Amino acid sequence: MPTIVNSWNEWDPLVEVIIGRADGACVPPKEPAYMVKSEGRVAQPDFSGPHDHESIRAAAKQQDNLCKVLSNLGVVVRRPEPTNFNISVETPDWRIPHQNACSCPRDTLLVLGNEIIEAPMSWRSRFFEYRPYRTILNEYFQRDPAFRWEAAPRPLMTDELYDRDLPLLTSQRKQTAAQHMFTNTEAEPVFDAADCLRFGKHLFMQHGYTTNLSGIQWLSRHVGSNFDLRQIAFENNVSPTHTDAQLLPIRPGLCLSCPERPLEPTSLALFTDEECDWEVISAPEPNSWTMPPKCTSSPWLSMNLLSIDENTIIVEETEKPTIRFLREELGFDVVAVPFRDAYKFGGSFHCQSVDVHRDGVQKSYFPNLDIRHERSEMRRSESMLSAQRTERGSPPDGRSPSPLSD
């Protein structure tokens, strides 16, 4: 029986990938989370609803071409079921006139080794977005005996989940962002899979507009001691939505970082500790600061890349500074692929893909964190043991339970 689901990091040789679809996509409706994401533009007439035919045709053409490029590189490519998102959704708590899209599998499916978790995303328009992937996931389940298929608790997304008092314009969100105040409250756990970056044993996740602290806590408890999940944060991040246009590991020991939104010092210290071997370098500026109409992502999609292996990487063909930098300064084989017409469907290559199988095993790339993790795990088991003894009435062993933190 074959192994299909096996992906521990962002750079091991790519074997199988799911690429999203623009077909049937809508601009989300006026729901609390999308009001903020679109800076209020969704309230304008004709902003939301089905994408126009020409935009879909152009994006679908580039997605199809990406699939061909990947197939030619020997990668197995899967696609979600074509789905019409222009269908209303009603739950006991809310109703929306239409949905979103299945262009960004990166947000919906979190691949952690041999497990895929359907993420509890926070937009109402994404409530049913797992559905176009169910045929593939079920097939993986039938074919791959080691595949663990999991769905995080589906959020209710009642009004309590959203803080409607936040400023709509990013230009006015500096202060609230610095205080880590984002759209989602802590009413229930939510996260988008794209907020989690995978580095073998270590996972890094950011709190922001799509992931709340309860979501990070849910995932941390879920993975237990199989992974070491750390929260990271970025400076000047007025609209933290997904980590992959802020920090992207492109080979062991090397991350690209968005110079406008660098890691906060305590997060950066995890990478620059003298006991580990990571370099965090500034990504080159985007080729253009103008994004296609109705695109709500930042121009830093220029660094939203898909690695074929640790020497080969897919970059959008108009992103000349990035192509030059990766080729000439870092020695990568760059595969330049047109994708700008797909940007308005939620992102670039990293967002619109999910790497189901990369040839490799789980490793640790952060010896500095392992030492700290082991110590905290030891303290955790000691304190659990001591609590059990106290409950059973046996005499404590003289040591006091330690706090759980590092």
Catalytically active residues are 192, 242, 351
Which residue intervals of 38-148 are DSSP H helices?
53-72, 105-108, 134-143
Question: Smallest distance from the beta carbon of 242 to ligand DAV, in angstroms?
Answer: 4
Q: Which residues bind ligand DAV (CB under 6 A)?
A: 104, 194, 241-242, 245, 297-298, 300, 346-347, 351
Closer residue to ligand DAV in complex, CB, 184/386:
184
Distance of CA 316 to the CA centre of its chain: 19
Beta bridge partners of 116: 111, 149
Specify whether the CB–CB gap between 9 and 29 falls below 8 A. Answer: no
How many H helices and E strands in the chain? 9, 19
Closer residue to ligand DAV in complex, CB, 21/201:
21
Residue 113 to residue 75: CA distance in whole angstroms:
18
Q: How does DSSP classify residue 345?
A: G
Question: Smallest distance from the beta carbon of 170 to ligand DAV, in angstroms?
Answer: 10
Closer residue to ligand DAV in complex, CB, 33/369:
33
The CA-CA-CA angle for residues 74, 21, 85, to 5°, reads: 160
Question: Smallest distance from the beta carbon of 224 to ligand DAV, in angstroms?
Answer: 28
Closer residue to ligand DAV in complex, CB, 9/298:
298
Specify whether the CB–CB gap between 211 and 205 falls below 8 A. Answer: yes
Contacts of residues 50-55 at CB distance under 8 Å and 24 or more positions apart, as own/partner, are 50/25, 50/26, 50/85, 50/86, 50/98, 51/22, 51/25, 51/26, 51/27, 51/101, 51/294, 51/344, 51/345, 55/22, 55/294, 55/341, 55/344
Which residue intervals of 123-255 are DSSP H helices?
134-143, 174-178, 213-223
Closer residue to ligand DAV in complex, CB, 259/396:
259
